[in-house]
């Protein structure tokens, strides 16, 4: 299973755009890249998923270069409520979506 | 539509006691998962069930057993609890095995287990 590497922590201010990059050098052909958000004392929440190029939804964008060895989660105009831990994962779609969670990136948004 | 529910929310056990954590989902998902999360750590997969009738080991299966009771329910059993099993346990479900969306998992609120 592919392992991921992402920064342990990041700081930002309200209104800024935040980009969190994740490296996954040994991603397999069939792996999807998925990002989750976790608030204290809650289960993780799915944010966005992609396979290649760019995916955008109402809360975030995911940029994946052609070699797929890294990906970047982009959060536009963060607010205090975006303070959370963000996990980058790669998983096998044809084996029950078995996922490996790393330590994640602790994002702190300040006023 | 409750999503993924877990019972109990909190539990304290003595070393050697047994208990079963219950999980149910009402989204008609095929795959279900059990994770544990220790303080300051990411989640680690204990067991998963890709579809009704099948179960497989994850990263840290030792000391646990699971049962996929039906499509909705997936239970986790600790036969003889140890202090090292003190953790927060999360259950999750996803659409299915044969879909890229199987990596989109929906998590329950967690069970906080303390073993003394």
- Name the pLDDT band for B10 (thresholds 50, 70, 90): very high
B103 and A91 within 8 Å at the Cβ level: the answer is yes
How far is Cα A108 from Cα A95, in angstroms, rounded to an integer?
A: 34
Mean pLDDT of B66-82: 96
Interchain contact, A46 vs B90, CB within 8 Å: no
Across chain B, mean pLDDT equals: 91
- Name the range with the highest mean pLDDT among B36-45, B78-87, B102-111: B78-87
Which pLDDT score is estimated for B5? 96
| Cis previous bond, A81, omega within 30 | no
Can you list the residues of chain A whose pLDDT is less than 70? 1-2, 92-98
For the segment B83-93, the average pLDDT, to the nearest whole number, is 96
Q: Indicate if the pLDDT at residue B100 is higher than 80.
A: no
Chain A CB contacts of B102 under 8 Å are: 91, 93, 96-97
Q: Which residues of A touch B34 (CB under 8 A)?
A: none
The predicted pLDDT at position B37 comes to 94
CA distances (Å), origin A101, targets A16, A33, B39, B42, B44: 27, 12, 14, 5, 6
pLDDT tens for B21-62 read 999 999 999 889 999 999 878 889 899 898 888 999 988 999
Q: Which of the two residues, A89 and B17, has the higher pLDDT score? A: B17
Output DSSP code: residue B73: B
**Using CA atoms, how far apart are residues A38 and A49, in angstroms rounded to an integer?**
16
For chain B, what percentages of helix, strand and coil (3-state, to nearest 5) are there?
5, 50, 45
């Amino acid at each position: 299973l592919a392992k991921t590497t992402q920064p342990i922590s990041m700081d930002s201010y309200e209104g800024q755009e935040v980009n969190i990059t994740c490296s996954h050098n040994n991603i397999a052909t069939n792996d999807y890249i998925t990002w989750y958000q976790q608030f204290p004392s809650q289960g993780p929440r799915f944010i966005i998923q992609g396979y290649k190029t760019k995916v955008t939804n109402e809360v975030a964008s995911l940029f994946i270069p052609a070699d797929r060895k890294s990906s970047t989660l982009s959060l536009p105009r963060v607010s205090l409520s975006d303070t959370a831990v963000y996990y980058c994962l790669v998983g096998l779609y044809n084996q029950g979506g078995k996922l490996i969670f790393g330590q994640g990136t602790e994002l702190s948004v300040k006023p | 539509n409750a999503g993924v529910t877990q019972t109990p929310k909190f539990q304290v056990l003595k070393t050697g006691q047994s208990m079963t954590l219950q999980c149910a989902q009402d989204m008609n998902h095929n795959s279900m998962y059990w994770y544990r999360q220790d303080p300051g750590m990411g989640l680690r997969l204990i067991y998963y069930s890709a579809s009704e009738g099948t179960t497989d080991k994850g990263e840290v299966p030792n000391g646990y057993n699971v049962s996929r009771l039906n499509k909705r329910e997936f239970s986790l059993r600790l036969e003889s609890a140890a202090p090292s099993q003190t953790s927060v346990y999360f259950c999750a479900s996803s659409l299915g095995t044969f879909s890229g969306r199987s990596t989109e998992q929906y998590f329950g609120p967690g069970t906080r287990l303390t073993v003394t």
